[in-house]
Amino acid sequence: MALTARQEQVLRTVIEEYIAIGAPVGSRHLSEHFDFGVAASTLRSDLADLEELGMLAHPHTSAGRVPTDAGYRHYVDAVVAERGEAAPAIRLERDRAANEIDDALRETAEALSRVTELLAVVSAPAVTTSSLRHIEILSLQPRLVMVVLITTSGQVTKRMFSFGDPVDEGLAEFARVYLNERLVGAQLGTRRIATVFESPDLRPKERAFLEALRPAFESPSPGDVEGLHLGGTSRLLDNLSRAGVQHLNEVLEMLEERYNLLELLAGALREEGVYLRIGHEMPSPSLQECSMVASTYGVANRSLGTVSVIGPTRMDYQRVIATVRATADGLSTYLEDIW
């Protein structure tokens, strides 16, 4: 939506003042604290025009205006994109072993929450976005077999399989050797996986055993697909409470249901650059008084997970966007260094 240069300046100033002081901003405040080079009556007219355009709202208890979701969206798209701001550095130890990635992600979430004073959510690499590094087939009991998959992103998944008859340990060892030889470097759920399980060289007994284990390689269980690390849940609830947000119990329930958060972050994983949802752009009704800023991290031009911040719509978008972007870039560099 095209605005005049002064309307852009007025909108930016109202939003940044509202973020800073948390109170509606009126023409008198603007004329007394900022030099727009026009009379207060002209600023009143600009505020009225911005309200008519849906960028600002006019609380009945105040002569000032507050930003709407559309105003915040225009601000982020048209103003913040033109600015650059150095983001606080979030450092990670480079001498970690790759299997300590969960610790690194957890520390990232906590550090990001402290820097932004909001809720930080860092998603672990999805198993289906990584390649297989090692496979173990373990006979735990005569009729119980465990499949362990270790991926290049450091994820470890386990799946148990029960059989009606005792499993030949030699068959389990065959499966371990056969699958490691043919599947290391393959991505789960790809055609390469199917080809290995359907090879005409397999004998009937081998084929039947591998077919029973095949689901572990094609459809990871929901609990194994992706993990989340949250930092600062209490900070989010405190910010929302002070902002007068209703239905805090619903927000808390939403955060406790990790599956809902995974769905919320799925869009960010599919999008390049910064992913932003403001107010009513959020899919969950319980979060429609919040905004989310997210960015992906990964290696070799491949997205593995997301770094995100959730807070009230009245957040410092410029600072949060810069911090989330820098944190995602830092996490990508960390992963490239340890692998």
Co-location of 103 and 233 in the same domain: yes
Task: Say which residue the tokens 């550090």 belong to.
Answer: 111
Q: What is the pLDDT of residue 85?
A: 58
- Within a domain: 89: no
Co-location of 259 and 159 in the same domain: no
Q: What is the pLDDT of residue 7?
A: 93
| C-alpha to C-alpha distance for 76 and 80, rounded to whole angstroms | 5
How many CA atoms are closer than 13 Å to the CA of 236, on its beta-carbon side?
A: 27
DSSP 271-286: SSS-EEEEGGGSSSGG
* Type of residue at 44: R
Q: b/e map of 264-274 (b: 16 or more CB within 10 Å)?
A: bbeebbeeeeb
Co-location of 55 and 19 in the same domain: yes
Task: Note whether 287 and 254 are within 8 A (CB).
Answer: yes
Task: Note whether 108 and 92 are within 8 A (CB).
Answer: yes
Given 192, 223, 254, the domain boundary residue is 223
- Within a domain: 91: no
Low-confidence stretches of the chain (pLDDT < 50) are 96-98, 220-225
Co-location of 152 and 107 in the same domain: no
How many residues appear in the chain? Answer: 339
Co-location of 268 and 119 in the same domain: yes
What are the tokens at 279?
A: 């107010």
Co-location of 143 and 115 in the same domain: no
Given 223, 255, 290, the domain boundary residue is 223
Co-location of 234 and 215 in the same domain: no
Co-location of 268 and 173 in the same domain: no
Co-location of 66 and 170 in the same domain: no
Co-location of 122 and 245 in the same domain: yes
Co-location of 171 and 268 in the same domain: no
Q: What is the CATH number of the domain that holds 182?
A: 3.30.390.60
Expressed as residue numbers, the domain containing 53 is 5-82
How many domains is the chain built from? 3
Co-location of 149 and 210 in the same domain: yes
- Within a domain: 274: yes
What are the tokens at 329?
A: 């870039």
